[in-house]
Amino acid sequence: MHQRSKLSIAALLALGGLSGFAQAQQTSQAPQQIERVEITGSRIRQIDTETAQPVEKITAEAIQRSGLVSLGDVLNQLTAAGSPDFSKGSVLTSNREQGGQYINLRNLGSQRLLVLVNGKRWTQSVDGYTDISTIPAALVDHIDVLKDGASSIYGSDAIAGVVNVVLKKSMDGGKISLYYGANEKGDGQTKDASVAYGVSNEKGSLMFAVSANKTDPVWAKDRAITAASYGSDADRYPYSFGTSAWGRIRQVNPTTGTATGFNQMVNHTGSYLGDGTGSASNVSSNYHAYSSSNLDDTFNSSSQMMFQAANEQKSMFVKGNLELSPVLRFNSTAMFSERKSTSQVAGYPLNSLSQPNYPVYIDKDSYYNPYGNQAADVAAGAGQDLFFYRRTIEVPRVTVNNNRTTHLDAGLEGDFSLLGNPWNWDVGVNFSKQDGTVTSTGNLNLANLKSALGPSFKNASGVVQCGTAANPIPLTQCVPFDILGGPSASTQAALDYVMAKLTSEYGSSTRSVTANVSGELYKLPAGNIGVAAGVEYRTQSGFDQPDELAHSGLSTDLAGNATYGKYSVKEGYVEVNVPLLKKVPLAELLSVNLASRYSDYSTYGSTTNSKASFMWKPVTDLLTRGTFAQGFRAPPLGNTFGGGQQSFDTFVDPCDTVNGAAKNGGDVLARCIASGTSSSYRQLVQSGSVAASTGGQSLYPFNASLGNSTLKPENAKTRTLGLVYNPSWMQGLDLGLDWYRVTVKNAISSLSASYVLNQCYVQGVSEFCSGVTRDANGQVATLSRGYANLGELETSGVDLSVNYRFPKTAYGQFAIRTESSFVTKYRQKSTPTADWVSYLGEYGYNRLKSNLSLNWGYGPWVATFSSRYYSAVKDSCWDTEDTSTCTNPTGSASWGEGAGYNRQGAVFYHDLSVGYTFGWKGQLLVGANNVFDKKPRVVLNANYSAGGNSSSSSVDPDVPVDRYLWVRYNQPF
């Protein structure tokens, strides 16, 4: 963020290490006015842009050359970015954040990254996430990515670092930008259009921008590798498919209400795609014995699912400033963004106990019950209720999230002199609001379904009607549903009656008042002591109100309770920069920076977090730097006040004696048997078949996202040490090397089912076993999971950057840039006394990521060739007996000691863009991302059932699935 102050150019020349700049200015006669700059990571405004903290800068030009539309897509390609917390492939995810874009810096979680726009906090969701896609790219000047803790400067959330989106200060004229891109196959089309315009003079400036973009979905069925859960290998289909589109029936246990007795499927034609025609469902001879190995009696849910979700966004942005006097200025920013995210998954896999507290059976007096009182081969009064299974593929489940984000800020800033030194001050107010509605179709109204499957008869007109002949129910009040007959037997009237349209609402808001002052306090021989101080008062409130029908548990949608919460915080900080040495032997520059921030929360009490950093230049060309910072993150509203909701979780049961850790016997197997399994126990999925090696979806709804009022704030410590080398003997070369280590204690985490079960059975942490019960067959029947302060999270590694701008040649200007992140440690422990569990080198936790780009410019021409490298990772084995899918059958990973893993090799992706600027100043850019068409691969841990980001398949949805072609045209005016 840049701020203005009047200084003589002589002040700049007084700084060491800038003699080259001084020589370039020797012909200038009069003093020039320059800017003092507020660098991301510090509140002290200064001239020198070198800092003690590692900051990566992304320019607007680099964003445009990338061929990416959203700032989130650009930032998620950083080498320091981990797997997105909310992927566009997670179409089964029900979080309100789904559809937005969030940056998971260093795999520490998106909620541990603070997002600023011009140094001001951006809006957050109830669960503490900031959607960076709401910031329009049209007005962006550059993005600073601070890869260091900054809680002492900015407060809560800045543990992994800070992303500061810096907008253009002013514009004179306008710019229109049009974009179109698509996969080579023709899907995933993205269209983007923006208009920006600004006016400015010596007294002020005003800018506005409007933008709109739309991204079409990519359907899983359109590529063989994504058309089934575990790839195109037909041998894996039995594990890929689930509940059939055709009716399956069993008897009802009179004591427990669960399924028992015979297991039959209605006869039908067609395949596992739900095509074909079903036989008359009310005739018992039209049924055959069900077997999950008969694929035609299952359904491929991927055939109805999006591989990548659809998204539309519109935004309007206005920014202005006005000079009220030579020492007083007013500035303001306003933004409104509306996002519509659409996801689709397969029709609901219904059964009689979809809601255990509201069972629905096919009534013995239903006309469509083949073993009911109206069946031809059933003795009078001998009819029986039936337990049923059926996926309603006629109405796939579609979720539309309409999200609206509003941001307003306004402030005054000015300059003054104190003891002959320049000072600045600012005061401001900041308001951010996010609200939205989530509308879903494809779930069923269980009360209506119970009526539709209740008593019914064929009336005198030959129409099946609810009720009995003696007590008929009008068709306007109830429509019978031939659920067992499959999609060919469904009528639109019946579907309209049993289906539900559900609408939930959510929102959050942040209000803050800030005051800051900074300047130079005292002059030392090495320079002036810089000081900044400030206060802030902030309130955060939010809510999440589920649909009333879903809340009641009378629909197949996930039942949940409302969330309401708020807190306030009072904060104050001080920062001091002290230059110690300058232009002495072995110290061209030596300075230290100290900062501390006090925060008093209405809910969590008070905390003080401090930072110390240094910069040392032993010689002009070499800068060494380092920091030690304390971090802090207050529990978000949803973590503390969350009402909780049902969830059909996907997991690998560690008690499975073939795919789980229990296969190795020992303590794990003993714990499992003690909880109700056996030495031959196998995990089952909803179709009744045995789960694949990557697990499957729970048979019963679990209780998830429960708020925890006893949560403690997170505490973190960040250490960095680095070198920056700018050799004077090789102009244009910049080398950077930074080591980091981040430790988070009392880490707040949303516990997954897999995590809870592994902690209980594999790690033997008894605290995690209290919320787990199993049914009579050993299957997990209940599991409660919410938020907890886990023991500890630790990561460390090295970032390397090399930038070189070659001397200009007759063939144009060349420049090369590379950024690499090498992770040396990433591990967690669930309690202070538990063992560490390392995730390093597993899917989503690459040891090494590297980006390389070569830029060229020649007159009106520009071109960029870039490469992205991802190191090899450990993946789950499909079969530990098959070395072609399991390179290390006895290897250890986070999912179990000796459980085996499959090594997935390193991959490269290459992008190319070429641009030309016409005589009328219009610029045409064309490009191809994944230009060499690197094909996708099956990664089992990418599957949702293994905790991955892909709901429909085992292909990573956040890397290219195809060659992507794009074109952009920019026209200034």
Provide the 3-class DSSP secondary structure of residue 318: strand
- Looking at the chain, the whole-number percentage of residues with pLDDT higher than 90 is 77
pLDDT for 36 equals: 56
Taking 50 as the threshold, does the pLDDT of residue 9 lie above it? no
pLDDT, position 35: 52
Burial bucket for residue 605 (CB in 10 Å: 0-12, 13-18, 19+):
exposed
CA distance 4 to 34: 8
Instruction: Please give the torsion angle defined by the CA atoms of residues 898, 904, 905 and 907, in that order, rounded to the nearest 10 degrees.
Output: -140
**Per residue in 466-481, pLDDT tens?**
999 999 999 999 999 9
DSSP state of 762: I
pLDDT averaged over every residue in the chain: 91
Q: What is residue 668's predicted lDDT score, i.e. its pLDDT?
A: 95
**Spatial separation of the C-alpha atoms in residues 179 and 972, rounded to whole Å:** 15
Q: Residues 541-565: pLDDT tens digits?
A: 999 999 999 888 899 988 888 999 9
Q: What is the pLDDT of residues 454-470, one digit of tens each?
A: 999 999 999 999 999 99
Question: In the predicted model, what is the mean pLDDT of residues 242-257?
Answer: 95
Q: Is 82 exposed, middle or buried (0-12, 13-18, 19+ CB in 10 A)?
A: buried
Identify residue 454 by its one-letter amino acid code. Answer: G
| Size (the chain), residues | 973
Residue 408: the pLDDT is: 96
- Mean of the pLDDT values across residues 40-61? 82
Confidence bin at 616 (pLDDT 50/70/90): very high
Q: Which is higher by pLDDT, 59 or 699?
A: 59
In order, the DSSP letters of 82-127 are -S-SS-TT-TT---TTTTS----BTTS-GGGEEEEETTEEPP--TT
Least confident range from 23-32, 105-114, 140-149, 573-582: namely 23-32
- pLDDT computed for residue 49 by the predictor: 59
Tokens of 542: 């939010």
pLDDT in tens, 419-442: 888 999 999 999 999 999 999 999
Q: Which of 58, 196, 203, 79 is nearest to 139 (CA)?
A: 196
User: Is the separation of the CB atoms in 941 and 754 below 8 Å?
Assistant: no
Note the pLDDT of residue 798: 98
pLDDT value at position 7?
Answer: 34
pLDDT tens digits along 739-767: 999 999 998 887 889 889 999 999 998 88
List pLDDT tens digits, range 497-519: 999 999 999 999 999 999 999 99
Rg (the chain; Cα; Å): 31
Q: What is the pLDDT of residues 19-30, one digit of tens each?
A: 333 333 333 333
pLDDT per residue over 643-661, tens digit each?
A: 888 888 888 999 999 999 9
Lowest mean pLDDT among 43-52, 214-223, 790-799: 43-52
* Residue range 361-396, pLDDT digits in tens: 999 999 999 999 999 999 989 999 999 999 999 999
Q: Say what the pLDDT of residue 627 is.
A: 96
Which two structure tokens, joined as six digits, stand for 955?
């292909």
Is 32's pLDDT higher than 80?
no
**Calpha distance 134→335 (Å, rounded):** 9
Q: How many other CB atoms are there within 10 angstroms of residue 427's CB atom?
A: 16
pLDDT digits (tens, 9 = 90+) for 279-305: 999 999 999 999 988 999 999 999 999
Q: Is the pLDDT of residue 3 over 60?
A: no
pLDDT at 51: 77
The amino acid occupying position 505 is: E
Q: What is the mean pLDDT of residues 713-719?
A: 95
Q: Which of 661, 653, 750, 663 is nearest to 946 (CA)?
A: 653
What pLDDT digit, counting tens, does each position of 958-969 carry? 999 999 999 999
Segment among 531-540, 645-654, 809-818 with least mean pLDDT:
645-654
Give the pLDDT confidence score for residue 247 in this predicted structure: 97
